[in-house]
């Protein structure tokens, strides 16, 4: 059975258009409740959300749907996605629900779920929910309706959790940090975490109005943070996305560090403390410079499909701890069960504090390769996999790059477009081969 509603990260879309409508969300919660009751006669579900105006509507619909199935609900209010994962585990709840569209603009919203251990749920569970959606509802009687309550100190509990992942013998005292929360779910949490660890915090993107989430700020628009670091003469800048599971960082010089670089820094820091790093997981898009730098340190590196859920699957398969994407999703499984921007930032900062070096100095072994990404619109019926000119061009490119570059060709999942990415040590070489491959597609 294929999934009609669930994508790579839950269910997402434009508010007011199927499936992000209150009637569907009510039915979805009811269906999820029925699936939960197959294993747990008295399920308890936690619901968190980001700061979008539509969160109120969807939260109410979801609460009603769970109650109608006899499931108790605990409302967390606006908290980061990783806070829901943590609190679901800490509260011994049956399920955690996040109402968020992450880095998307405010007209979008979505729903994603965590299991009782704070991890994302497998495809089979999502298929079971979709099957339940096709069945007639079974409304609970008045005596068996679920109850709802609010966890008043949800934010405070999560703040303490984040702080607990930072070494007790270190402090951020003397460090000025600009924190850009993207007017999102961490607006009232992120500044407190760094302040309580001793930093002088400059707040950015911490005034949500329901409409400004991710707008011109946060991890999707880091230029604002770069400028703020310069203006405030800060030591570090931290950019989150709307649900605070994505991280980019800036140093005092205004240099921006993406998820690929931060992933290497985390692995290198552990090696420097004589910890074992059995391997690291990236994605098909992870910069080759990171792979080569890790190989020099004797650390195996594997690539998963693009998407943090696939990085997580690969980590669990290999029983490794560190993985991530260039977009800033970083997984540190001995600290948190899912991507957590605040926990990841604290791990980077402890490396900076402990070493006395800047992020740029810690990342000297990594010089990112230029990447050229070109999109080619495909003619109807064209089978790019069977194209002999393209196969020949790819073979020639790979021979020319000879282990010092990469070619990645993949179709878009949403439109008839072929994405051609070439990576090389020199930008003009990457551009030349990318254009050659585009011409081969048209041959």
| pLDDT for residue 379 | 86
How many residues in total does the chain contain?
Answer: 443
When computed from its CA atoms, the radius of gyration of the chain, rounded to whole angstroms, is: 23
Task: List pLDDT tens digits, range 284-316.
Answer: 999 999 999 999 999 999 999 988 989 999 999
| CA distance readout (Å), 184 to 51, 68, 207, 346 | 5, 30, 8, 19
The count of C-alpha atoms lying within 13 angstroms of the C-alpha of 382, restricted to the half-sphere facing its C-beta, is 17
* Residue whose token pair is 């009510």: 26
List of residues 6+ apart from 194 with CB closer than 8 A? 172, 177, 179, 201, 238
Paired sense of beta strands 330-332 and 322-324, if any: antiparallel
Please provide the distance, in angstroms rounded to a whole number, between the alpha carbons at the two ends of the chain: 38
Same fold, 257-362 and 371-442: no
Paired sense of beta strands 405-411 and 417-424, if any: antiparallel
Q: What are the domain boundaries of the chain?
A: 11-152, 157-254, 257-362, 371-442
Widest CA span of the chain, in angstroms?
A: 72
Q: Judge whether 102 counts as a catalytic residue.
A: yes
Question: Buried (b) or exposed (e) across 70-98, using 16+ Cβ within 10 A?
Answer: bbbbbbbbbbbbbbbbbbbbebebbbbbb
Architecture of domain 157-254: 3-Layer(aba) Sandwich (3.40)
List of residues 6+ apart from 392 with CB closer than 8 A? 440
Set 102, 314, 327, 344: catalytic member: 102
| pLDDT for residue 346 | 98
| pLDDT for residue 334 | 97
* Contact (Cβ atoms closer than 8 angstroms) between residue 112 and residue 11: yes
Q: Is 271 left (phi over 0), alpha (psi -120 to 50) or beta?
A: alpha
Tell the CATH topology of 257-362. Answer: Alpha-D-Glucose-1,6-Bisphosphate; Chain A, domain 3 (3.40.120)
> Which CATH code fits 11-152?
3.40.120.10
Tell the CATH topology of 371-442. Answer: TATA-Binding Protein (3.30.310)
- Is this prediction's pTM over 0.75? yes
One digit per residue, the tens of pLDDT, for the chain of length 443 reads: 567 899 878 999 999 999 999 999 999 999 999 999 999 999 999 999 999 999 999 999 999 999 999 999 999 999 999 999 999 999 999 999 999 999 999 999 999 999 999 999 988 999 999 999 999 999 999 999 999 999 999 999 999 999 999 999 999 999 999 999 999 999 999 999 999 999 999 999 999 999 999 999 999 999 999 999 999 999 999 999 999 999 999 999 999 999 999 999 999 999 999 999 999 999 999 999 999 999 999 999 999 998 898 999 999 999 999 999 999 999 999 999 999 999 999 999 999 999 999 999 999 999 999 999 999 999 888 899 999 999 999 999 999 998 889 999 988 866 889 999 999 999 999 999 999 999 999 88
How far is residue 326's CA from residue 339's CA, in Å, rounded to a whole number?
A: 13
Phi, psi for 382 (deg, rounded to 5)? -75, 125
């Amino acid at each position: 059975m294929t999934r009609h509603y669930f994508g790579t990260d839950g269910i997402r879309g434009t508010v007011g258009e199927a499936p992000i409508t209150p009637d569907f969300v009510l039915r979805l919660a009811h269906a999820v409740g029925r699936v939960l009751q197959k294993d747990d006669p008295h399920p308890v579900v936690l619901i968190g959300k980001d700061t979008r105006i539509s969160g109120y509507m969807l939260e109410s619909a979801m609460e009603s749907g769970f109650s109608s199935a006899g499931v108790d609900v605990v409302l967390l209010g606006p908290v980061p996605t990783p806070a829901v994962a943590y609190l679901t585990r800490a509260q011994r709840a049956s399920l955690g629900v996040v109402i968020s569209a992450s880095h998307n603009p405010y007209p979008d919203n979505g729903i994603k779920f965590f299991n009782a251990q704070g991890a994302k749920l497998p495809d089979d569970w999502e298929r079971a929910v979709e099957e339940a959606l096709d069945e007639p509802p079974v409304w609970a009687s008045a005596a068996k309706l679920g109850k709802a309550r609010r966890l008043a100190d949800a934010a405070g509990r999560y703040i303490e959790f984040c702080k607990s992942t930072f070494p007790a013998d270190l402090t951020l005292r003397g460090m000025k940090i600009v924190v850009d929360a993207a007017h999102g779910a961490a607006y009232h949490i992120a500044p407190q975490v760094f302040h309580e660890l001793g930093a002088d915090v400059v707040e950015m993107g911490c005034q949500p109005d329901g409409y400004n989430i991710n707008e011109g700020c946060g991890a999707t628009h880091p230029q604002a943070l770069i400028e703020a670091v310069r203006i405030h003469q800060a030591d570090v800048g931290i950019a989150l996305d709307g649900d605070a599971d994505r991280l980019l960082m800036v140093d005092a010089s205004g240099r921006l560090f993406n998820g690929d670089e931060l992933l290497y820094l985390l692995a290198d820091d552990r090696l420097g403390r004589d910890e074992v790093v059995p391997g690291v997981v990236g994605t098909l898009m992870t910069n080759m410079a990171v792979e080569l730098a890790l190989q020099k340190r004797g650390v195996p590196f594997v690539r998963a499909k693009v998407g943090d859920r696939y990085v997580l699957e690969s980590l669990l398969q290999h029983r490794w701890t560190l993985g991530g994407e260039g977009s800033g999703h970083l997984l540190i499984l001995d600290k948190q069960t899912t991507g957590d921007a605040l926990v990841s930032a604290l791990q980077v900062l402890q490396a900076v504090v402990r070493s006395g070096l800047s992020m740029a100095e810690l990342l000297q072994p990594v010089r990112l390769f230029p990447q050229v990404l070109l999109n080619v619109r495909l003619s109807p019926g064209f089978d790019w996999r069977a194209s002999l000119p393209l196969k020949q061009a790819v073979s020639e490119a790979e021979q020319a790059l000879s282990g010092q570059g990469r070619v990645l060709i993949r179709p878009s999942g949403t439109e008839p477009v072929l994405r051609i990415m070439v990576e090389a040590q020199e930008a003009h070489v990457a551009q030349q081969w990318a254009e050659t491959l585009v011409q081969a597609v048209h041959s």
